Chains A and B, each alone.
Chain A
Amino acid sequence: MNMLEVNGLRVSYGGIQAVRGINFHVSEGEMVALIGANGAGKSSTLRALARLLEPAGGNVRYRGKDLLQVPPHGLVTEGIALVPEGRGVFPRMTTLENLYMGAYARSDRAAVARDLEHVLGLFPRLKERAQQVAGTLSGGEQQMLAIGRALMSKPRLLLLDEPSMGLAPIMVQKIFEVIRAVASEGMTILLVEQNAKLALEVSQRGYVMESGEITVTDESSRLLADPKVRAAYLGE
């Protein structure tokens, strides 16, 4: 079953079209990678799905529902969580407060407490930093926090925007271990990444974006082997 179905999505900044009518879908339980060069429109696509930008056109169906009819602050209740590019932690709140903000729209306190334990189990580092103000965490810790915060909303669909950006290789590895672990628990994930190799290694399917359009789509393993993709995005 398709959890997310995007048809003819367009995003414009002023007069410039960043996303030019793209179609893609994400099935339940699947991890899908959206790769492409800087400025290809990957982040714009995610931001439009999370409604940080209003799409200029197209339609988005999510679990059979017209997603563009849901008010932006209602998306999280529908089960959609975005880990934004640049992490976007609340810098003057503590790690714990940030995590609780992730559960802001939830009222099931007992389940929130269980999910907090689960998230702190995934990221033991966050437990050590629980009372620290988020602005003072390292970049990698902030990325952990941003992912943990998104998980606190108990999403059905997790949107990850450039989780490896600006992180040391060792930290990237750690973050992707957790992404893999979350996926293996059955989470549906749409991953936007500039690090195409990494993204294709963890995902089942991939879409390649170029100048606002999807140019290639296939299973990730086949994209990894595709000479054109290798030449353009894997630096070979």
Chain B
Amino acid sequence: MDTLLQQLINGLTLGAVYALVALGYTMVYGIIGLINFAHGEVVMIGTMVAFTVIVSLAGSGMPPLLILGIGLLVAVVACMVLGWGLERVAYRPLRHAPRLTPLITAIGMSIVLQNVAMIIWGRNYITFPPMIDKQIYEFGGASFTNVQVAIVVLAALVMIGLTYLVQRTRMGMAMRATAQNQHVALLMGVDINRVIAMAFIIGSALGALAGCMVGSYYEIAHYQMGFMLGLKAFTAAVLGGIGNMAGAMAGGLLLGIIEALGAGYIGDLTGNFLGSHYQDIFAFMVLIIVLMFRPSGLFGERTGDRA
């Protein structure tokens, strides 16, 4: 089997998921300069909600794809409400507080959400019921599944749609204007509170979608899954230049590929001293390297003076 091609395919799948989650970080940061550390937990809640819906509909005789679709839809809506609520309850009252305050609140919200999920869905790993009949395709010595194809295609479509929204619609104009100069956007008649809420809502919807993808791909879910996923997506956002949406997409894909290649070759590189379960170190090596040599990221224009 061709390791390089195989890992590129795996990396692309993983990267598509990172990109979707990274967009949630970057949209919020771009507009209010907050790193919403609870975003990973929003993704986790999305996975869990989809899981619950799918399991409770599994015996209903509906076609599996429809069940998956309903699960996805409910998860997206639930996360949109959650994202909106987080902003409203936890961050809006702190809008004018020193920067560190909302950041610490975000970490606090992350812990709260993890614990709520633990109470609802328990401490154990949950098997995410596979709703797609898995088919394996062979290509040039590598293999991939229809689930992977679905993830990459869906992520690409959503990112195209989001780009259209931000570049071409009135709401998107308002979001970009607010990100570039909040005071002046207000002068233009932009309702800043609405724009900020929208950034959370859209980011959370993308997160829910990513959560369902992770669930379908690994067929497993856990109340702490959002932590590592969130950190990696955050790394992807920093890699691309936090606050920059194209950067989040590119950073996500790049990080997914770096990680997959790292996992594929780490055994060879270290004489089998380290195995592929060390794949997590690559994401954070990337984070450290970016922060050392190009803290504004690949697409970033300004270096971060914000916490």
Residue ID in chain A nearest B173 by CB atoms: A101
Cα A223 to Cα B173 with chains together (Å): 44
How many residues of A are in contact with the other chain, CB < 8 A?
27
Q: Which residue of the partner chain, among A72, A73, A93, contacts B176 with CB atoms under 8 Å? A: A93
Tell me if A88 and B181 are in contact (CB < 8 A).
Answer: yes
Give the residue among A73, A81, A100 with the most B Cβ atoms within 10 A: A73
Q: Which residue of the partner chain, among B177, B186, B189, B301, contacts A90 with CB atoms under 8 Å? A: B177
Q: Does B180 contact A (CB under 8 A)?
A: yes
Cα A76 to Cα B183 with chains together (Å): 13
Tell me if A73 and B181 are in contact (CB < 8 A).
Answer: no
**Using an 8 Å CB-CB cutoff, how does the interface string of A146-166 with B read, 1 for contact, 0 for none?**
000100010000000000000
Tell me if A105 and B188 are in contact (CB < 8 A).
Answer: yes
Q: Does A52 contact B (CB under 8 A)?
A: yes
Tell me if B177 and A153 are in contact (CB < 8 A).
Answer: no
Cα A148 to Cα B190 with chains together (Å): 18
Q: Which residue of the partner chain, among B183, B188, B192, B301, contacts A101 with CB atoms under 8 Å? A: B188
Tell me if B188 and A104 are in contact (CB < 8 A).
Answer: yes
Tell me if B177 and A73 are in contact (CB < 8 A).
Answer: no
| Known contacts A101-B173, A104-B170, A104-B174; is-contact A93 B180 (Cβ 8 Å) | yes
Q: How many A-B residue pairs have CB under 8 A?
A: 62
Tell me if A90 and B176 are in contact (CB < 8 A).
Answer: yes
| Known contacts A97-B173, A101-B173; is-contact A73 B190 (Cβ 8 Å) | yes
- Find chain B residues with CB under 8 A from A102 CB: 188
Tell me if A73 and B186 are in contact (CB < 8 A).
Answer: yes
Cα A153 to Cα B191 with chains together (Å): 15
How many residues of B are in contact with the other chain, CB < 8 A?
18
**Using an 8 Å CB-CB cutoff, how does the interface string of B179-199 with A read, 1 for contact, 0 for none?**
011011111111110000000
- Find chain A residues with CB under 8 A from B190 CB: 73, 104
**Using an 8 Å CB-CB cutoff, how does the interface string of A17-55 with B read, 1 for contact, 0 for none?**
000000000000000000000000000000000111000
Cα A179 to Cα B301 with chains together (Å): 34
- Within the complex, what minimum Cβ distance (angstroms) separates A231 from chain B? 36
Tell me if B187 and A90 are in contact (CB < 8 A).
Answer: no
Tell me if A73 and B180 are in contact (CB < 8 A).
Answer: no
Cα A126 to Cα B192 with chains together (Å): 28
Q: Which of A48-83 contact B (CB under 8 A)?
A: 50-52, 71-77, 81-82
- Within the complex, what minimum Cβ distance (angstroms) separates A15 from chain B? 17
Tell me if B173 and A73 are in contact (CB < 8 A).
Answer: no
Tell me if A76 and B177 are in contact (CB < 8 A).
Answer: no
- Within the complex, what minimum Cβ distance (angstroms) separates A26 from chain B? 18
Cα A160 to Cα B189 with chains together (Å): 17
Q: Which residue of the partner chain, among A50, A52, A75, A104, contacts B173 with CB atoms under 8 Å? A: A104
Cα A2 to Cα B290 with chains together (Å): 59
Residue ID in chain B nearest A72 by CB atoms: B186
Cα A76 to Cα B189 with chains together (Å): 6
Tell me if B189 and A77 are in contact (CB < 8 A).
Answer: yes
- Find chain A residues with CB under 8 A from B181 CB: 88, 90-91
Tell me if B187 and A50 are in contact (CB < 8 A).
Answer: yes
Cα A153 to Cα B187 with chains together (Å): 10
Q: Does A114 contact B (CB under 8 A)?
A: no
Tell me if B180 and A91 are in contact (CB < 8 A).
Answer: yes
Tell me if B183 and A88 are in contact (CB < 8 A).
Answer: yes
Q: Does A180 contact B (CB under 8 A)?
A: no
- Within the complex, what minimum Cβ distance (angstroms) separates B180 from chain A? 4
Tell me if B186 and A104 are in contact (CB < 8 A).
Answer: no
Q: List A residues at the B interface (Cβ < 8 Å).
A: 50-52, 71-77, 81-82, 84, 88-93, 97, 100-102, 104-105, 149, 153
Q: List B residues at the A interface (Cβ < 8 Å).
A: 170, 173-174, 176-177, 180-181, 183-192, 301
**Extra 5 A-B pairs, beta carbons < 8 Å, given A76-B187, A101-B188, A104-B170:** A81-B187, A88-B183, A91-B181, A102-B188, A104-B173
The 6 closest A-B CB pairs, nearest first, are A105-B189, A76-B189, A88-B184, A90-B180, A104-B188, A73-B191
A-B contact pairs, 6 of them (CB 8 A): A71-B191, A73-B192, A74-B189, A77-B189, A105-B188, A153-B188
